Structure 1
Amino acid sequence: MLDAFQSALYQRLQAFELDDPTHEFGFTRHLMKNQGWTQTYAQRAIAEYKKFAFLTVVANHQVVPSDQVDQVWHAHVLLTQSYWEEFCPKVLRKKLHHHPARGGRAERAEFHHLYTQTIASYRHFFGFPPTDIWSPPDLRFGAELKMQRVNLTEHWVIPKRLPQLRLAQPLGAIAIIAFMTVGWVDAGQGSTLGGFGRDLTANQFSTIFMVSIILGLILRYVIRMPSNQPQKPQLDVYQMAYFAGGSLRAVELAITQLVHQGYLHPNVRNQTFAIAKVLPPGAPYLEQQVIQRVQQTPTLKGLRQISTQKTDFLKERLEQERLLMTGWADSIRQSLGFFFLITVLGGIWGQALLSSLGIKIDAYPNIITALQQAIGIITICCIVPGGRTRWGSQILADIWKNHDVYDVPQRFALHGYRVLSGGVLDDLKQIFKAEEEEAASGGCGCGC
């Protein structure tokens, strides 16, 4: 609740108008033109700018704006008469200077910390900030620093990330099946199928194709039960990490927590970790395991091996909440996957290899071919990312929608190391990235 001074300040800010009614092209339209914002968004950004200005007076620390608020501030500073003769002396009753960044690692870490404090102060006075205007710190000091002005008369603007479609996964599965089907058609035989299915007519294969898809979708529905439960589970951050990214994500979160809290010190040059201070006895189990492991092998690769043995308790909790598939349902999912990889793909690759060597291959019996194709199609239909039940997918979607985007552990649990930003977390991010690049290149450390 605001005191008398704060309430008076807030009322003055709300009463202050940035748009001059005598100007046809006012402040809001100026923002819309230069930033590409809608009128509604521009008005919301102006409202957030006023809240930022309020914090510059009442917060007991330096306040750092979001990028959108900063753009409004830039535009207002250019209206020198309004800014210096009305806004600062009459509304804020103090000078509010805008200083350019000097750059460098130390300043980046300082601004990252101050921005985090700004979000905390905002929440104290106004509640949760709108995330489409007040971005998380990793975006504020990451992707948003790379924005540039673009002349739309000379350039096309195409987003790198297109909107995700709800039907992306099933359509992708059907596309794979269709591609495989077309690949098995003998162009020279017209209505008959070559390769694996050349003993089957096109009509027969179409029937097998449709029946297999129906059976696959039914089986997928059954093994992903339940669809709902009486109440939503309350997951801690490590359970959330395992749920979203598996056992490796949970271990990486433990490493991140220890670095963030000052118990581990990362060495970017050697890509190792050193214990900086003693971990208290009541620390989470995974964090205790990481500290013990550091004493044996201080590399990230060595620490990640904890995930093979020490995260079963997280999986068991998620299974108890029926968020993950268990028992026969999970066995079916895994066995079908093994069948597809070993039998179907193995058979296709084997035939291709023998054909390339000039070895003639006799057709498989119809029944074996039909069975292989049917189980392969059913397998594709039953692909379940992360082995989640339908209830589990609903809970994960709810977590994604409602989690605290300014909370580093929660954001890491859902997104992984790419969200790390600021101070020592920048060093940790470099180690994670280097390890990932080394693994992608086959583990060659000689630069080849």
Structure 2
Amino acid sequence: MSDASNVHADGLARRALDIHAKLLTMQIVPPGTEADFTNRLSAEYGWSSTRAERVYGEYLRFLALASTTPSMVVPSDDIDRVWHLHLLHTRHYWQVLCPTILDTDLHHEPSLSSAEDAGRHRDAYLETLRRYEATFGQTPPVAIWPRPCVVNAAPRFPLARRSAILALNPISPLLVICLILAIGLASQGLAALAMGIVVSAVALLALTLFVSHLEQNPARPKNRQNDGGSSCGTTSCSSSGNDDASHGHGCSGSHACGSSCGSSCSGGCGGGGD
């Protein structure tokens, strides 16, 4: 990176930190109301008060990055939930946050449900994690900013076929001996004894494959929901003067990335009243 690029990046980081300092004093819900904003988060999403405060704190950091980064930035799903609730407070969002704190309009836009868009969001999410660390000097907390995983290449053989091949290797010589012995006995008129050997060999083969199947497919405990981070963000945002500020995916789920990155935000973007 050139010296000019370093200076530019340092300038953006300083501006993000300045905006973050202002955000820390922000009050979305007017003082004296029955429930503050983090209590509303707890009620809306079933979070503990501690988790609601932590996610809200990370949301403020996301706002600082989104309003100063000249490229796509991507929040996690939990941070996006905070963003959705904030957007419902339209007066504060559009009359206080954007003009007086961020000094730019930060829009929430739906992303496209396509493989290409999913890859774009995932790359942007990884870049957001790097921008976070460069700006705030610390690693984003995994419980709120889940890390995308790398999908491993498919094995050459399906798992079931591969486990069967591995199971047959140790007993192959024994099966060959049994077959030769059975043929020899049958040629001498000892058909019943030959049949017994064949049946025993088949039983041994079936038992070996069954044990191999159990070893490859152990009983799995049922998934338990917890109060940790969710998988990934799925909508997008953009600020005036920036390219995109889009949100995408960290991961936790079935295969390596959990779910595809990028589905549309519900209920439109920026809608709703106070």
Q: Under a length normalisation based on structure 1, what TM-score does the superposition of the two structures give?
A: 0.32
Of the three residues 99, 113, 127, the one matched with 2:109 is 99
Secondary structure of the residue that 1:301 maps to in structure 2?
A: coil
- Correspondent of 1:73 among 77, 80, 83: 83
Equivalent residue for 2:256, pick from 410, 419, 426: 419
In 2, are the aligned partners of 1:109 and 1:422 still within 8 Å (CA)? no
Structure 2: distance between partners of 1:42 and 1:20: 18
| 1:271-325, Cα deviation, whole Å (9 max, x unpaired) | 8xxxxxxxxxxxxxxxxxxxxxxxxxxx8229x99xxxxxxxxxxxxxxxxxxxx
TM-aligned CA distance change 1:130 to 1:80, over 3 Å: same
Output aligned runs, 1:288-367, within 5 Å.
300-301=156-157
Q: Higher helix proportion, which one? A: 1
Counterpart contact for 2:16–2:65, Cα < 8 Å:
no
Q: Residue 144 of structure 2 corresponds to which residue in structure 1?
A: 133
**Alpha-carbon distance in 2 for matches of 1:33, 1:422:** 26
- Provide the aligned C-alpha RMSD in A: 3.3
Equivalent of 1:23 in 10, 16, 33: 33
1:421 Cα deviation after fit: 6.8
User: For 2:123 and 2:91, how far apart are their aligned partners in 1?
Assistant: 33
Q: Could you say which residue in structure 2 is the equivalent of 1:50?
A: 60
- In structure 2, the gaps of 5 or more residues are 1-9, 163-251, 261-274
Instruction: Give the distance between the partners of 1:26 and 1:420, measured in 2 at CA.
Output: 35
SS of corresponding position for 2:24: helix
Instruction: Give the deviation of 1:422 after TM superposition.
Output: 8.8
For residue 97 of structure 1, give the secondary structure of its aligned residue in structure 2.
strand
Q: Give deviations 1:22-54, integer Å, cap 9, x for gaps.
A: 210222111111100111111111110010001
Count of aligned residue pairs for this structure pair: 160
Distance 1:46-1:73 versus aligned 2 partners, 3 A rule: same
**Where in structure 1 are there 5+ consecutive unaligned residues?**
140-251, 257-270, 272-298, 306-414, 424-448
Instruction: Determine the C-alpha separation between the residues in 1 that align with 2:62 and 2:18.
Output: 16
Where does residue 189 of structure 2 map in the other structure? none
Q: Is the 8 A contact 1:20 1:27 kept in 2?
A: no
Q: Which residue of 2 aligns with 1:8?
A: 18
Identity of aligned residues (%): 29
Contact 2:55 2:78 in 1 (8 A): yes
Q: Which residue of 2 aligns with 1:64?
A: 74
Q: Partner letter of residue 133 of structure 1?
A: I
Matched with 2:98 is 88
Give TM-score, length-normalised by structure 2: 0.51
SS of alignment partner, residue 61 of structure 2: helix
Q: One-letter code of the match for 1:300? A: R
**In 1, are the aligned partners of 2:73 and 2:125 still within 8 Å (CA)?**
yes
Cα deviations by residue, 1:368-399 (Å, 9 ceiling, x for unpaired)? xxxxxxxxxxxxxxxxxxxxxxxxxxxxxxxx
Matches of 1:59 and 1:74, distance apart in 2 = 21
Counterpart amino acid of residue 68 in structure 2: V
Code of the aligned partner of 1:134: W
**Aligned mates of 1:129, 1:7 — CA distance in 2:** 15
Work out whether 1:123 is the aligned partner of 2:133. Answer: yes
